[in-house]
C-alpha cells in the first residue's frame, strides 16, 4: 500500500466525492474490441499503479491505495442503441448517456475509473470515448498529463507533442522595486482577507445560474460544449467572454438579475512547470507532489450589468483582466494552498472545500492541449474536452484547447439552467466582443 495524495484524501469523503470526465472524439469508428482491450491493458494500466489500486481507510481515518487485480470487464462500458439512426438522434443519446454516467457513483470496491465507448457517430466524431476518473487518483494536471502520455502525434509518432507556450506562475522570482513589493503585500492582504470572508461567510445570491440547493451535487446535470476558433488560450479575454455570456443569460431569463452577487471560483495549478511533464518527470521527488498536491484558487466577482443591452462588451474583458492581473500580483493563490494544507492536517479539509465551492456561483478551470493532432494506434483524435462532476454547484465551466480550437464545456443543473439558451448566450458574447474589438482596432 502507498499513502493516498492529499487531493485523494479530501476528494473521496462523505462531504466531497469528485470525478473528472475526459471526452475523446475520434475521426474513425472504434470497432476492434480486441485491440481496444489490449490498448487499455498495455497502455493505460501501466501509467501508474494507482489505476490498479483501491482506496482503503486506516484506523485513524487516513486513506491509502492498495494494489489489486483489475478485471477489465468491470471497467469497460459499451452502451447499445438502435442502429441506423440519424446523427442528430445519436447526439441526443450521447448527451443523455453522458448525463447519466456523470451522476453515477464509482464502485469503491474496485479501482476508481471507468472507460465508456460510444460507438455511434455524432456531429463531433465517428465514435467517442469517455474516461471517468475519480479525483482521488490525482489532480487535473497529473491525470490529463497521464492521458496525453497514452497518445502520440498523428503525423509522426516519434516526435513529442508540443503545447502553446505559457508563462511561468513563479511571479515572485522576478526582481521588484520597493513600490512593487508594497503593491504585492497590499494585494495579498486584501485578496486573502476577501477570500477568507467569501469562503466562510458571504454566500452568492440565488440566481438563474445558482439554485442554492444543499443537494445540488446530486441533481441531474447537462454537459454541452461551445467551440471557438482561437490559436491559443488567452485567459483574460476568455474569462471576459464567459462573464459577459453569463450576464446575457441571467438578464435574458430573469430581468434585473444582472446585478445579483455572483462569484466565479477560478481553480489554478500552482506548479512551476509551463508544459506537461512526462510520467518519469512527474514521479521525481523534486517535482513536489506529482499526483495531486499543487493547486489553489481565487475568487473573481462577475461584473454587474445594469443594462446589458447598452453596455460595452469590452468592459467585461477589461474588468476581467484588471481583476485577474491584481490577483496575479499577490500571493493569494499560494496562501489558499497553504490554508488547504493546514486544514488537511486538522482533518477539516473536505467540509472546508465543499463550503468554498458551494458559496460561489460557478467554477472555472482550464486545460492546454497539444497543437498537433493526436492518435492512439489507428485512431486519430478529432476533438477533446473535460468536465468535473459531482460538485456542489449549479454551473461549471471548463476550457480546453486542441489544434488551435478552444472548447468551452458547460456543466449545468438540468432543472435550473436552459442549456441551449446558455450556449447561445456564450456564442453571442464571443461575437459581440469580437466585433467590438475589431471596431476599436479599425478606428
pLDDT at 334 over 90: no
Range of 46-60, 130-144, 408-422 with top mean pLDDT: 408-422
What's residue 277's pLDDT? Answer: 58
What's residue 290's pLDDT? Answer: 46
Residue 60 phi/psi, 5-degree rounding, is -90, 5
Q: What is the dihedral of CA 309, 311, 317, 323, to 10 degrees?
A: -120
What's residue 418's pLDDT? Answer: 95
As a whole number, the mean pLDDT across the chain is 84
% of the chain with per-residue pLDDT over 90: 40
pTM: 0.88
Around Cβ 335, how many Cβ atoms within 10 Å?
17
8 Å CB contact between 362 and 209: yes
8 Å CB contact between 360 and 202: no
Domain segments of the chain as ranges = 2-442
Tens digit of each residue's pLDDT (9 = 90 or more) over 255-275: 878 788 999 998 876 665 555
What is the Cα 308 distance to its own chain's centre? 28
Residue 175 phi/psi, 5-degree rounding, is -70, 140
- Strands of the sheet containing 53-57, edge to edge, are 2-3, 63-67, 53-57
8 Å CB contact between 246 and 414: no
pLDDT at 142 over 90: no
What is the Cα 166 distance to its own chain's centre? 18
Tens digit of each residue's pLDDT (9 = 90 or more) over 354-387: 888 999 999 998 888 888 999 998 899 999 999 9
Any idea which residue has 512526462 for its cell? 278
Distance between CA atoms of 129 and 77, rounded to whole angstroms? Answer: 10
Residue 328 phi/psi, 5-degree rounding, is -65, -35
What's residue 389's pLDDT? Answer: 92
Determine the longest span between alpha carbons in the chain, in angstroms: 69
Distance between CA atoms of 440 and 22, rounded to whole angstroms? Answer: 38
The confidence band for 26, taking pLDDT boundaries of 50, 70 and 90, is very high
Tens digit of each residue's pLDDT (9 = 90 or more) over 205-253: 999 999 988 888 888 999 999 988 765 455 668 888 999 999 999 998 9
Amino acid at each position: 500500500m502507498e499513502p493516498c495524495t492529499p487531493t485523494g484524501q479530501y476528494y473521496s469523503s462523505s462531504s466531497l466525492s469528485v470525478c473528472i470526465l475526459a471526452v475523446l472524439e475520434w475521426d474513425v469508428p472504434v470497432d476492434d474490441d480486441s485491440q481496444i482491450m489490449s490498448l487499455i491493458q498495455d497502455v493505460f494500466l501501466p501509467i501508474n499503479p494507482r489505476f490498479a489500486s483501491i482506496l482503503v481507510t486506516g484506523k485513524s481515518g487516513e486513506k491509502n491505495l492498495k494494489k489489486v487485480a483489475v478485471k477489465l470487464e468491470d471497467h469497460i462500458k459499451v452502451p447499445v442503441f438502435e442502429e441506423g439512426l440519424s446523427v442528430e438522434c445519436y447526439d441526443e443519446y450521447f448527451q443523455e448517456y453522458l448525463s447519466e454516467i456523470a451522476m453515477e457513483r464509482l464502485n469503491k470496491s474496485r479501482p476508481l475509473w471507468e472507460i465508456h465507448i460510444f460507438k455511434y457517430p455524432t456531429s463531433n466524431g465517428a465514435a467517442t470515448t469517455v474516461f471517468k476518473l475519480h479525483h482521488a487518483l490525482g489532480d487535473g494536471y497529473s491525470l490529463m498529463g497521464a492521458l496525453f502520455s497514452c497518445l502520440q502525434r498523428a503525423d509522426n509518432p516519434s516526435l513529442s507533442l508540443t503545447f502553446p507556450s505559457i508563462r511561468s506562475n513563479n511571479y515572485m522570482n522576478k526582481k521588484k522595486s520597493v513600490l512593487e513589493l508594497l503593491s504585492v503585500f497590499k494585494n495579498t492582504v486584501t485578496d486573502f482577507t476577501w477570500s477568507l470572508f467569501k469562503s466562510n461567510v458571504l454566500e452568492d445570491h440565488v440566481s438563474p445560474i445558482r439554485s442554492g440547493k444543499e443537494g445540488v451535487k446530486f441533481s441531474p446535470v447537462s454537459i454541452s460544449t461551445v467551440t471557438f476558433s482561437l490559436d491559443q488560450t488567452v485567459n483574460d479575454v476568455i474569462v471576459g467572454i464567459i462573464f459577459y455570456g453569463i450576464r446575457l443569460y441571467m438578464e435574458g431569463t430573469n430581468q434585473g438579475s444582472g446585478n445579483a452577487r455572483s462569484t466565479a471560483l477560478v481553480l489554478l495549478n500552482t506548479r512551476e512547470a509551463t508544459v506537461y511533464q512526462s510520467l518519469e518527470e512527474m514521479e521525481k521527488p523534486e517535482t513536489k507532489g506529482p499526483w495531486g498536491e499543487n493547486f489553489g484558487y481565487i475568487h473573481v466577482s462577475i461584473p454587474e450589468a445594469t443594462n446589458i443591452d447598452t453596455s460595452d462588451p469590452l468592459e467585461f474583458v477589461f474588468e476581467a483582466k484588471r481583476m485577474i492581473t491584481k490577483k496575479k500580483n499577490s500571493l493569494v493563490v499560494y496562501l489558499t494552498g497553504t490554508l488547504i494544507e493546514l486544514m488537511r492536517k486538522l482533518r477539516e479539509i473536505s467540509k472546508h472545500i465543499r463550503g468554498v465551492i458551494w458559496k460561489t456561483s460557478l467554477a472555472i478551470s482550464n486545460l492546454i492541449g497539444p497543437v498537433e493532432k493526436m492518435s492512439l494506434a489507428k485512431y486519430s483524435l478529432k476533438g477533446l474536452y473535460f468536465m468535473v462532476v459531482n460538485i456542489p454547484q449549479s454551473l461549471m465551466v471548463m476550457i480546453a484547447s486542441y489544434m488551435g480550437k478552444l472548447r468551452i464545456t458547460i456543466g449545468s443543473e438540468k432543472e435550473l439552467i436552459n442549456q441551449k439558451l446558455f450556449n447561445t448566450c456564450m456564442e453571442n458574447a464571443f461575437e459581440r466582443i469580437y466585433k467590438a474589438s475589431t471596431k476599436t482596432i479599425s478606428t
